Structure 1
Amino acid sequence: MASTAHALHILVKHQAQAEDILQQLKKGAKFQDLAKKYSTCPSGKKGGDLGEFKRGTMVPQFDKVCFTCEVLTPQIVKTKFGWHIIKVLYRT
């Protein structure tokens, strides 16, 4: 079982916007470019890069996606902060 993950994310306020961003990604848009353009999280300036973090560090909904979803496949999840598009780069 992985104990750390490295992920990128884009944080927005509305589900519709998160779904639109996900569609842009599916059409080939670059994750980092969309993070810089849309993310309300300070990590957006770094292309959404959260770096490597340990299991249990993030809020539960976010953590669950990071440690169970398919690597490199963007996923949408809602937390108390808003809607996240998460792309896990790797787990160790």
Structure 2
Amino acid sequence: MRRLDPRPSLLLCAAFSATLWWAAPPAQATKYAGEFLKIPVGARAIGMGGGFCAVADDATAPYWNPAGMIYLPYREVIVQHAEKFGNLLNHDYAGAV
């Protein structure tokens, strides 16, 4: 029985794979992937530039620093809506402490 030489088939597979690799560009991740995780909450906290972690004394405390809820003198409610990235993302936040 005659044995087949694997080199021509390996060469053909390598050429075909290289053609596919150059012909089809890789899928690019969108620019906004995961950006919704970085949207801050609360006007005062946003105005402080993220330095609100040290204060955290309003209804956004569970977002910034949950330990700050101990220092709340009374109950608070916050409802926030934001449309980001050209109306691609609607960010809603509701909190009650």
Please confirm whether the aligned pair reaches a TM-score higher than 0.5, indicating the same fold: no
Higher-helix-fraction structure: 2
**Which TM-score band (shorter chain)?**
under 0.3
Computing the radius of gyration from Cα coordinates, the structure with the larger value is 2
Bigger RCO (CA 8 Å, 6+ sep): 1
TM-score w.r.t. the length of structure 1 is: 0.23
